[in-house]
A and B are shown apart, each in its own frame.
Chain A
Amino acid sequence: MWTLAKKILLHDRIKFAVASAGVSISVMLVLVQIGLYFGFMRTASTLIDHARADVWVTKAASENFDFSTPLDDRTYYRVASTPGVARAERMILAFAQLKLDSGADLGVQVIGIEPHARLMAPWNVIDGDVSRLGEPGAITVDASEWDKLHLKDVGHRTEIGGVRARVAAVTEGIRSFTTSPLVFTDLISARAFTRLPDEAENYVLVELAPGADPARVVAALRRIPHVDAYVADEMSARTQEYWSSRTGVGAGFFMTAILGIIVGLVVVGQILYNGTLQHLREYGTLKAMGARNSAVVRVILYQALISAVVGFLLGGGLAVGARAAMAGANLSVALTPGLFVATAIVTAVMCTLASLLSIIKVLRLDPASVFKV
């Protein structure tokens, strides 16, 4: 039956090509849009996801990871002495202006970490020496931001917030979500760059003692005045959720994906329906001669599913190509296996829905109509 459905479908190659193109564009739109969304979300929480902290402590009611209200060192000491906390490290995350060679200013996001920090440190270091971040004004820059920063080499000097800075190490692939390049430095330089008071920081990162119950430690930390605490996964999810829902970016991506699905539905539906109308007399003949409805439905459904498979493979290929093209533009499209599986299911459902009109048409077909010329 598959073979026969395939033959009926492939008989008109142009129509089949259009149907497959419709499905593949739809598949590509869904994959790229959702992949971009996942990519954005991954980037939004990249610092949290790369940190080794078990628990993040923030100022109470601080909603946004990148624009948080500072804490002070008293809080840090109370966190460090909370039972179940094995290690506590301060971290600064704030914006500052970096002086470009051209004389213009560029906003950067400064990440200040403890000397010998273990819970948050730059990763993917491709050049230079991170252990020298403790030297005054030492920073890391990311290779992907070279075009913006024009800082090409270790040792390159500049100013951040009017304070002298020097590239001590270069990382690769640490992308910023806010579009302001991420610059790692130590706590002291970070306070200087961002004009943050001494003894102020944005986060305290916590490593739990072996065997400590995260929920109980979090509850204990929350009893410190004006403090909120989240386990790392929750912190990551909150950050993604903030950007996704507050900015409407999530809705935007999903709307485009849904539009893609609608395009696919209409194109495939239209082509299948057209093909069904064209073969209505043949289907009617088969029905008159006793073809079971289920068999007739299957022939049409199989045609839809064949379009789905071909379109999915083409669209998947297009999406992988688009990912490569967009990586050049510093956009990450996160095409996870889960996304492919989900999209495959959506495609199958879409094509099944698209065949519904044809199926209804054939089911309603009066066998007596076959004698009408």
Chain B
Amino acid sequence: MIPATSSTPPLAELRGIGKTYGTGEHAVDALVGADLAIYPGEDMIIEGPSGSGKTTLISILGLLLRATTGSIRIGDREVGQLGERDLPALRAKTFGFVFQGFNLFPALTALENVALAIRMKDGKAKDPEGQARALLERVGLGPRAHHLPADMSGGQKQRVAIARALGGDPPILVGDEPTAALDTKTALSVMELLRGLASEHGRAVVVVTHDPRLERFADRVVRVEDGRIESNLPRLAQAS
């Protein structure tokens, strides 16, 4: 995708983010002085060793976790100025989430899982089933709409989860190791799908991964080590 330029404002921006878990003797500095900007159309990969703070970083980005220090901007809103009550709505509007473990209701079909999320997000959503069907088409699962998760492969389940994350059309998709449970071929096709999604509607995709083979799908690779952002480079620049 076209790398972000300084002329387009970021969808989200973290400045000087620090996160300390616990207090006193048991305090863990999971993140120190992290700066990160997410631009529209960008497909970003966050990598780094286990325990380096990747999950912490995207949890704070996704407004799931409060930072200990630093500030966050989502669009033109300063998150620090929002109360606890406003946070969930902003989160719902801005982010869709994908996980390693899919987290689909086993009792519900692909369509129902996606429609349930749309309904729960917005009680007045128009034609949740229709929306869900369109999203499943988008992730290439139209013909599987009425299958239960148990009858689908890991890759298909993750596509359902991605379709669910797209409900309400959030501008940023966040994934924590969404391909970790998949074999290489499937992982690559899921990454391809995510990359394609990033190119639509000025959306951004932020994916944490351990897998260096996935780097080739990214516009930008962020490396986290020991709670610090060690590098943040466009892929081409990193490759050279």
Contact = CB atoms under 8 A, between A and B. Distances in A.
A8 B123 contact: no
A371 B103 contact: no
Given A285-B103, A290-B168, A370-B103, A7 B108 contact: yes
B206 interface: no
A342 interface: no
B121 A289 contact: yes
B105 A370 contact: no
B91 interface: yes
Contacts of B219: none
B108 A4 contact: yes
B64 A8 contact: no
Given A4-B116, A371-B99, A371-B176, A288 B105 contact: no
Contacts of A288: 62, 64, 91, 97
B100 interface: yes
A5 to B, nearest CB: 10
B42 to A, nearest CB: 21
Interface residue tally on B, bucketed by range? 35 or more
B120 A371 contact: no
Contacts of B116: 4, 286, 299
Interface in A177-203: none
Interface stretch (A58-66, A212-220, A276-284): A276-284
A331 B59 CA distance: 66
Nearest to B121: A290
Given A4-B116, A10-B107, A295-B120, A285 B99 contact: yes
B14 to A, nearest CB: 16
Interface of B: 55, 58-59, 62, 64-65, 88-89, 91-93, 95-97, 99-101, 103-108, 112, 116-117, 119-121, 123, 164-165, 167-168, 176
For the complex of A and B, the 10 pairs showing the least CB-CB separation, nearest first, are A290-B92, A11-B107, A291-B120, A295-B120, A368-B64, A285-B103, A368-B65, A8-B107, A290-B121, A7-B107
